[in-house]
Amino acid sequence: MTAVINQRVEPALEVASPLIEMRGVEKVYRTGKLEFTALRGVDLAIWPGEMVAVVGPSGSGKTTILNMVTGIDRPTAGAVVVDGVDLGALDEEALARWRGATVGIVFQFFQLLPTLSALDNAALPMDFARRSNVRERIARARKHLGLVGLGEKAGHYPSELSGGEQQRVAIARALACEPKLVVGDEPTGNLDSLTAGDMFELFKRLNGEGKTVLYVTHDVELARRAHRIVSIRDGVVVAS
């Protein structure tokens, strides 16, 4: 079954090709003799400079779409092309390098390393990617912490930060390698409404600076602030 894609609204840029393209993507999870179909022939295009919210009930396939786009998981059928790269053509090592250079991921539960300071957490992706030298990595991490309003707490550990501050560190970490695409999997789901609004303003600012932003949310109000809402139900994307 082919998904129906909703019309783009207020695209930030008019370009010849999308940054993200999913073509007939299916995903079936198998455990022993049991099967669960998470995606059923999804077609989806997202253009550079867009801010797109993905909404739908629990178990509808929202997170699976993010996993396809970030290369965390692979489709059972169909193709996923991001920034001109067919992710299915990459082996695991090449996929990891591509992900580190292209995508910044913000998770619901922060996933900061408790034994590292905010500064070291923000620099971690650059350490893994061996980007620049140590001095330059630290300088860039400080810049990103300043961008999210935590420049004065660079030396604090996660246990010394509030939930909102931890999520800001997670956003700074996502920006470490200057990715074109920032992806959030319920990035405000573990925050109160006021702090969630602040997080969205950060995403909006990043989008205004040219980054493509794709996020899953259960918050209808936050979803409505995106350029476009993509609704998914039972593994199929429907027009909103």
pLDDT tens per residue, range 113-158: 999 999 999 999 888 777 778 889 999 999 999 989 999 999 999 9
C-beta of residue 223 within 8 angstroms of C-beta of residue 229: yes
Among the listed residues 178, 179, 167, 122, the one whose alpha carbon sits nearest the alpha carbon of residue 145 = 122
**The domain spanning residue 163 has which CATH number?**
3.40.50.300
Categorise residue 130: left if φ over 0, alpha if ψ from -120 to 50, beta otherwise.
Answer: left
- Whether residue 32 is contained in a domain is answered as no
- Whether residue 41 is contained in a domain is answered as no
- Whether residue 189 is contained in a domain is answered as yes
C-beta of residue 140 within 8 angstroms of C-beta of residue 8: no
C-beta of residue 75 within 8 angstroms of C-beta of residue 88: yes
Annotate 98-143 with DSSP letters as a single string: HHHHHEEEEETT----TTS-HHHHHHHHHHHHT-S-HHHHHHHHHH
- Whether residue 74 is contained in a domain is answered as no
- Whether residue 122 is contained in a domain is answered as yes
Range in 48-52, 126-130, 169-173 the model is least confident about: 126-130
End-to-end CA distance of the chain: 18
Domain count, the chain: 1
- Whether residue 124 is contained in a domain is answered as yes
- Whether residue 177 is contained in a domain is answered as yes
- Whether residue 15 is contained in a domain is answered as no
The whole domain housing 196 covers 50-60+90-238
Mean residue pLDDT of the chain comes to 88
